[in-house]
Amino acid sequence: MTLQIKVLGPELEGIAADLRGIAWRPNYRVKLPADSSVIRFGDSRTHGAIMRAIRKAERSGVVVRRAESEDDLRLWYPLYLRAMRAGVVLPRPYRFFEQLWRTVALREMGYLLLAEIPNGGSTTLIAGSLYLQFGGTVFYAFNGRRAEYLGARPNEAIHWHAIQQACRAGLQWYDLGEADEGSSLAAFKAKWATHREMLMRYYYPAPEDEGSASGPGWARQLAKGAWRHLPLGLTAFAGTRASRFL
């Protein structure tokens, strides 16, 4: 049995003899002003690119709304599976999100934002992000999307909506979370972030083999090709089975 703690920076260094910290991944955060209209994302070029993406989402008819029921959560989950399959990451089982909804969202400590686009006389759900909130920080925790609609910029629309909401609520930080160094996800998060900090993983007791705690191994690389072609049902099944050992 191993205890694992993730924190920003070496805050736990030296508090216990058998506690070892390992640099994990960069984490990206936005310092929020009281007024979202004065927020700046990087230099003028980066800020302009983000605002153009947000305007493109508006022109495409993307509408962001807060999920209202577990029916919305069930509609979002297949989009989350698509994102996890594309990223070669084991998904959380649906029951995990079901419990989050029932125990966290109903206490106003979390919410799900959905991006929809007009489709004839109805709308199509094209993306959604689940957020958790604690103290003065809102955390971007889980995302789902349809890759074929990314050109409409639904994720940018969701982030902008969430940032505006957080500013109105008087929160201090918008946490985009971690990403692998050099990945496209890291580039996406970095353009929004005003603070980049190294996320540390502390293990107690310290692992004998430091490499076992250092990140994705050969098995993930070997499985990439096959994983991205799995049916969503098998993707969900693999995540459910793996969750028993986490």
114: left (phi over 0), alpha (psi -120 to 50) or beta: beta
pTM: 0.84
pLDDT tens-digit series, residues 125-154: 999 999 999 999 999 999 999 999 999 999
Buried b (16+ CB within 10 A) or exposed e, 82-109: bbbbebeebbbbbeebeebbeeebeeee
Q: For residue 17, what is the DSSP state? A: T
Judge whether 67 lies within some domain. Answer: yes
List the structure tokens of 204: 């107690």
For residue range 156-192, list pLDDT tens digits in order.
999 999 999 999 999 999 999 999 999 999 999 999 9
Q: Which range of residues forms the domain containing residue 74?
A: 25-197
Q: What is the 3-state secondary structure (H, E, C) of 38-52?
A: HCCCCCHHHHHHHHH
Q: Is 221 a member of any domain?
A: no
Using CA atoms, how far apart are residues 115 and 152, in angstroms rounded to an integer?
10
> Could you tell me if 131 and 78 are in contact, meaning their C-beta atoms sit under 8 angstroms apart?
no
CATH number at residue 186: 3.40.630.30
Please give the backbone phi and psi of residue 215, each rounded to the nearest 5 degrees, phi first: 135, -170
What is the per-residue pLDDT for 90? 84
Q: Is 171 within the bounds of a domain?
A: yes
Total domain count for the chain? 1
Q: Specify if 207 maps to a domain.
A: no
